[in-house]
Structure formats: C-alpha cells, structure tokens
Structure 1
Amino acid sequence: MRSGIATGLGLLVFTTLGASGAHAADAKRPSPTAYPAATQPSLLSEFRIGFSAQDPWGPEGRDGSANLTGEILFAKPFTASDLFTSYFIPRPHIGGSLNFDGRTSFAYAGLTWTFNLTPTFFVEGSLGGAIHNGEKNPYGLSGHHQALGCSPLFRESGSVGVRLSANWSVMATVEHLSNAGACSENRGLTNIGARVGYTF
C-alpha cells in the first residue's frame, strides 16, 4: 500500500516538473510576433488639391478668376520626444497654382508648421519662395495682370482646417506672394481658396 502511494507521488512530482520545464522552455523561446517587422518610414506626409480665387482685391481678380492648386508635404526631417517641441518642427512642401484665365500662375516650395487645436481642428502657417510667369514691371500690362516686380518672390500662407477622419481633411487657405521690397512694384498677389488633404 505504502509503495503504491510512493509510486503515485513520484509520478505526480515528475509530471509537474516536466510540465514546468516545458513552460520555461516556451517562455524562453521568442514568439513569432515578439519582434514585429520594422516599417520603412514614408517620405510623403500629405497630398492636397483644391481651388482658389485669384487676387480678389486686385486687377488679376477684377472679373473673377480661379486657380487649380496642388501641394505635396513631406515627412518631418526628424522627430522630437515631446509633443510640444514636435509642433515647431516643420514639414517641407512643394506646390503650384495654375490659373485658368492666362493670369499669373506659380510654383513654390517652403516649410509648413501645423498646430492641433483639438483632435479635429488645426491651424497652419507656411513660409517659402515662389517662381511665377506673371508680369514683373508695369509697362505694357494688360488690364488683368499685376506687376510683381521680380521673380522669385516670397510666399506666405495660413490655413484653418478640420480633420474628417484619420486620413482626410479640409481647409480654408489664404496665400500671399510679394518681393518684400527687394525690387520695384511690390503690391504682391493674394489668393484665397479651399483644399482637400489626404494624409498617408
């Protein structure tokens, strides 16, 4: 009787130790999902397309004129450890504005700073330069062109936007081109419009 009990106890201890050893070995063995595959950072951050009114308060918009606008924003060149500092790291951008009526069109590049007011609403500012195909001096101007003095020009813009989802957003934008006194005829060009953005 006693030998049967001893044999049973021995089998129980052996089984328990064997199971513990198996669990320990499994714990040491790396899980297939323990090290997720590294993702390649994307170069592109966002694409935007929209329309704008050409210089509504100036000669180029006297009879009403519209532009097709497009812009690509690239990923931030580096990231910060805290959210506040990351707001001050800009995204590089390139873009253009194509006028439908043969008035001033331009291409531009620069830096964009985006600030989230809430998870849904954001404001934005950008600064850079633009090259254009418009008139540079007042001599021989048609009635629908503004003398811009020179090329390239400085370009500044501001936007107020709403995020519709994780990828889509809409925004109202005002942009201004001028030579900041670097050459003559410095009235500049101001366009206002709306754009749709898709974040990658």
Structure 2
Amino acid sequence: MFKRHAGLIAALAVHGASPAVAAENVLDELRFGASTSVQNRDAREQALPEVTFFVDPFEKRTANDWKARLVRPRIHFGTSIGIDHQPTQIFSGFSWTFDLSERAFVEAGFGGVWHDGPLGKTANGPGLGCRLLFHEYAGIGYKLDTHWNVLAQVSHSSHADLCDGPNGGMTRAGLQIGYKF
C-alpha cells in the first residue's frame, strides 16, 4: 500500500517545496511525520507515515490578535498512509494555531476523513461503521526557526453515532516536522 502512494507523495512534496509555487498557490506549510495507534494496547499499529499540506486563503498570518486568528483558520489536507493492512486516511478541515511564546505554539483542527479501514468489528482493530468520519486533532509545537517546526499531535476520527455500525474510532499520536513557506 505504501509503495502505491509513495510516488504521489514525493511528487506533491517536490512540487510544493518551491517557494515560488508556494506563494502562487497559497501553500503555507508542509508537514511530514509518523503516527501510531494509542487506543488499543493489544493491537498496536506500526508507525504510519503522514503528510499534511496547509493553505492560508483567509490570510491568518496577517491577523494581529487571537480573535482575528480565530476567524481566519488555515485549511489542511493530508493523509496517513496505511502499511501492512492498516487503514489509510485522507483528511481535510480547518486548523487554528496560537502562539504561546515566540517559539512554542498550540494547534487544533476539525474536519472530515475518508478511510479504507474495516467497517465492522475485527480482532485487529476498531470497527469504524462508515467510510466518512469526523476528524479532529490537537498538538503542541516548537518553532526551530522561521521556517522549521516540530509538533507532537493526537488525532481522533469517528462518526459520532451518525451512521450505522460500530463507532470504535481511530485515535493516533505522532510527531511531525513542518516547513513554513
């Protein structure tokens, strides 16, 4: 599964890495890292690669206080790539970032996710009930310089009992490295 997605991710990363292309396409940040399940001690996933792109169509970077940043979220698009029969997720939504100091920041996001995991209960993982789920995350990060940052993040996806079937959800924690354009 990973090999099938690797070429696409590499092409997107190379295309998005150019500052000229980033400015032209409103690309604000690219993050890459890995996450693993934190919900079931008996059925651990291996570390799954993740890539997330952020765009800033509402010009959050021009907001000068927390109220202005609250109404100007960034939009994120990303994937958590399933390896060895683990579910792949493709997600999108809104993200809010708030500085705690010159270097430390917190971030939260909310949106939706499509996954290819099991819908019914299984011995190796949660039953997810339907293909489209809510997706939320929270993280705390540190800016290494004006471009690079590192973020520890916990994310959760479930359907909030809005569709038939089990609602085991997926909860993952991970570490990401970001590059702001």
Q: TM-score range by the shorter chain?
A: 0.7 to 0.9
Distance 2:129 2:45 in 1: 23
CA distance in 1, matches of 2:45, 2:120: 22
State the distance in 1 between where 2:34 and 2:66 align.
Answer: 32
Q: Percent identity?
A: 30
Alignment of 1:22-171 (within 5 A): 43-53=26-36, 55-58=37-40, 62-78=43-59, 82-88=64-70, 89-138=72-121, 141=122, 143-171=123-151
Distance 1:82 1:91 in 2: 15
C-alpha distance in structure 2 between counterparts of 1:63 and 1:189, whole Å: 12
Answer whether contact 1:56 1:62 (CA < 8 A) is retained.
Answer: no
Where structure 2 has 5 or more consecutive residues not aligned to the other structure, the ranges are 1-22
Task: Return the offset for 1:64.
Answer: 4.1
Across the two proteins, how many residue pairs are aligned to each other?
A: 156
Unaligned runs of 5+ in 1: 1-39
> 3-state DSSP class of the match of 2:66?
helix
Q: Deviations over 1:159-198 (max 9, x none)?
A: 1000000000001000000001112311211000000000
| Shift in alpha-carbon separation, 1:180–1:99, aligned structure 2, 3 A | same
Report the 3-state secondary structure (helix = DSSP H, G, I; strand = E; otherwise coil) of the residue aligned with 1:87: helix
Q: Cα distance, 1:124 vs. partner? A: 0.3
**TM-score by structure 1 length?**
0.72
Larger radius of gyration: 1
Q: For 1:117 and 1:95, locate their aligned partners in 2 and report how far apart those are by CA, in whole Å.
A: 25
- Residue 179 in 1 paired to residue 159 in 2? yes
Comparing 118-127 with 86-95, which one deviates more in the overlay? 86-95
Measured after TM superposition, the shift of residue 74 of structure 1 is: 0.1
d(CA) in 2 for partners of 1:41 and 1:116? 26
- Mapped to 2, the partners of 1:92 and 1:81 lie a distance apart of 15
Distance 1:136 1:128 in 2: 20
* Secondary structure of the structure 1 residue equivalent to 2:174: strand
Looking at structure 1, the residues matched to 63 and 171 of structure 2 have their Cα atoms a distance apart, in angstroms, of 37
> What does the per-residue CA deviation read over 1:44-97, in whole Å, with 9 as the maximum and x for residues that have no partner?
0000000111x23227x7244220000000014245664233321100110000
Cα RMSD for the two superposed structures: 1.8
Query: In the aligned structure 1, how far is the partner of 2:27 from the partner of 2:89?
Result: 22
Mapped to 1, the partners of 2:166 and 2:151 lie a distance apart of: 31
Structure-2 change in CA distance of 1:83 and 1:132 (3 Å): same
